């Protein structure tokens, strides 16, 4: 396999020196781009787009044509895994994701299969292979999945939820049933990510969007333990060949308080939202892992000068060059002006150049 033309993102995650701080954006292939909206319309629904490898490849590449991003990320959705587990996903404009068969009790949990990813999620693997081929080793491709806890919130609630009351009640009323659900979901996620690795991704990202709604003890027991289990099950390559190893980044939104425990899973990177000081976390972890983040997505509403100032503030907070991957602290919002994104990326590259 030929080397990457731009390995900056992978080097930063491996703790190797880089010429500047690499940057990518959560949801960089998304609604803020007019070309994305056009392809999405061509595809039909959001799910039709996820299930069409050619068009999923097209929207994955769109932000890279506009901006000098240091990584691509597979276009897909975290809920494809519970869908493949038989919950039957639908995504409706204005309502959000809904499952026809939510998981409500022990019997529902015991019925859940661990799907074969090449069989039940073949469209994702085909998209990965198509994107890998199209990227032609220009920048790395990040594959991803939702954390078992985050997937479980949707699986139990039957969709999005303001307060996750049903799944939170489940952990307190039926902790054993919850653990069984998380075990099965973990095995499904690990198999799914290993299939993405086999299909050619260069790095793994696990999104734990709702881990931060858990209590301090419950987070360790119901979310982090299962992300650790997945990390240990992934085929990340030879530990003695750092250039071959596939780095894993864990992102728990609202998880800034738990970074010591997150680092102990053996992950290579930790994603942080904007409520956490990168500098504080760096001091706490002593550069043992790479930090990803963490500009407030809302700061992209500001003027170009203020965006540059915010980028500088994030870089200054991190401090001297080191294990940093620049990103927003959460996904980019659909009404952000793409020109503002260009300003942010240019500021990251120019202000961080060694």
DSSP string, 210-264: TGGGS-HHHIIIIIIHHHHHHHHHS----TT-TTT---EEEEETT-GGGHHHHHT
> Does residue 342 bind a second copy (CB under 8 A)?
no
Structure tokens given for 120: 């039940």
The answer to whether the CB of 122 falls within 8 A of the CB of 49 is no
Interaction pattern, residues 178-217, with a second copy; x per rule: CB under 8 A? ----------------------------------xxxxxx
Among 69, 218, 236, 262, binds a second copy (CB under 8 A): 218
77 among known catalytic residues: yes
> Does residue 38 bind a second copy (CB under 8 A)?
no
Q: For strand 203-208 and strand 141-146, is the pairing parallel, antiparallel, or unpaired?
A: parallel
216 among known catalytic residues: no
Least distance from C-beta 258 to a second copy, angstroms?
9
Q: For strand 96-99 and strand 89-92, is the pairing parallel, antiparallel, or unpaired?
A: antiparallel
> Does residue 313 bind a second copy (CB under 8 A)?
yes
Kindly tell me which of 166 and 229 has the beta carbon lying closer to a second copy.
166
Q: Annotated catalytic residue: which of 11, 40, 51, 282?
A: 40
Please give the Cα distance from 177 to 110 (Å, whole number): 9
Q: Which helix (H) or strand (E) holds 99?
A: strand 96-99
Interaction pattern, residues 108-147, with a second copy; x per rule: CB under 8 A? ----------------------------------------
Q: Annotated catalytic residue: which of 9, 11, 27, 208?
A: 27
CA gyration radius, the chain: 19
Least distance from C-beta 322 to a second copy, angstroms?
18
Least distance from C-beta 205 to a second copy, angstroms?
22
DSSP string, 188-210: HHHHHHHHHHHHT-SEEEEEETT
> Does residue 5 bind a second copy (CB under 8 A)?
no
Stretch that binds a second copy, among 21-29, 243-251, 305-313, 342-350 (CB under 8 A): 305-313
> Does residue 276 bind a second copy (CB under 8 A)?
yes
Among 19, 48, 165, 353, binds a second copy (CB under 8 A): 165
Q: Annotated catalytic residue: which of 9, 36, 154, 192?
A: 154
In angstroms, the Cα distances linking 98 to 81, 94, 148, 154, 234 are 13, 11, 17, 8, 29
Q: Which helix (H) or strand (E) holds 339?
A: helix 338-352
Stretch that binds a second copy, among 30-38, 103-111, 191-199, 272-280 (CB under 8 A): 272-280
The answer to whether the CB of 352 falls within 8 A of the CB of 344 is no
Site for a second copy in 234-263 (CB under 8 A): 254, 256-257
Stretch that binds a second copy, among 10-18, 20-28, 110-118, 269-277 (CB under 8 A): 269-277
Least distance from C-beta 105 to a second copy, angstroms?
15
Strand partners, 70: none
Please give the Cα distance from 58 to 81 (Å, whole number): 22
The answer to whether the CB of 103 falls within 8 A of the CB of 181 is yes
40 among known catalytic residues: yes
31 among known catalytic residues: yes
Residue where the block lists tokens 């990390």: 231
Stretch that binds a second copy, among 11-19, 36-44, 186-194, 294-302 (CB under 8 A): 294-302
Q: What are the residues whose beta carbons fall under 8 Å from the beta carbon of 36, sequence distance 6 or more?
A: 29, 30, 59, 62
Among 158, 161, 306, 331, binds a second copy (CB under 8 A): 306
Least distance from C-beta 307 to a second copy, angstroms?
8
In angstroms, the Cα distances linking 273 to 270, 315, 319, 343 are 10, 14, 17, 20
Catalytic positions: 27, 31, 40, 77, 154
Interacting residues with a second copy (CB under 8 A): 163, 165, 168-169, 172-173, 212-219, 254, 256-257, 274-277, 280, 296, 298-299, 301-303, 306, 310, 313, 317, 329, 333
């Amino acid at each position: 396999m030929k080397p990457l033309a731009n390995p900056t993102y992978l080097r930063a995650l491996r703790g190797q020196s880089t010429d500047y701080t690499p940057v990518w954006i959560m949801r960089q292939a998304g609604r803020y781009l007019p070309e994305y909206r056009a392809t999405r319309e061509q595809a039909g629904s959001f799910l039709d787009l996820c299930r069409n490898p050619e068009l999923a490849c097209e929207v994955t590449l769109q932000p890279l044509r506009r901006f000098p991003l240091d990584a691509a990320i597979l276009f897909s959705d975290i809920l494809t895994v519970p869908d493949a587990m038989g919950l039957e996903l639908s995504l409706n404009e204005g309502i959000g994701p809904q499952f026809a068969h939510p998981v409500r009790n022990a019997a529902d949990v015991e019925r859940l299969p661990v799907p074969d990813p090449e069989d039940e999620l073949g469209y994702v693997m085909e998209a990965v292979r198509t994107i890998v081929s199209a990227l032609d080793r220009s920048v790395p491709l990040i594959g991803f999945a939702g954390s078992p806890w985050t997937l479980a919130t949707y699986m139990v609630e039957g969709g999005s939820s303001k307060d996750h009351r049903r799944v939170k009640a489940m952990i307190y009323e039926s902790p054993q049933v919850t653990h069984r659900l998380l075990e099965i979901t973990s095995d499904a996620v690990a198999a799914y990510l290993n299939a993405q690795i086999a299909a050619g991704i260069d790095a793994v990202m696990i999104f734990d969007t709702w881990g931060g709604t858990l209590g301090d003890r419950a987070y360790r027991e119901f979310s982090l333990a299962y992300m650790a289990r997945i990390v240990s099950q992934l085929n990340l390559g030879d530990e003695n060949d750092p250039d071959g190893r596939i780095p894993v980044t864990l992102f728990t939104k609202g998880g800034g308080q738990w970074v010591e425990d997150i680092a102990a899973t053996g992950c290579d990177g930790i994603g942080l939202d904007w409520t956490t000081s990168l500098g504080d976390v760096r001091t706490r972890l002593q550069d043992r892992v790479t930090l990803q983040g963490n500009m407030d997505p809302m700061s992209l509403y500001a003027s170009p000068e203020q965006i540059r100032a915010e980028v500088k503030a994030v870089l200054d907070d991190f401090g001297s060059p080191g294990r940093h991957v620049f990103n927003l602290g959460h996904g980019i919002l659909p009404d952000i002006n793409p020109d503002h994104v260009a300003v942010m990326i240019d500021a990251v590259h120019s202000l961080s150049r060694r």
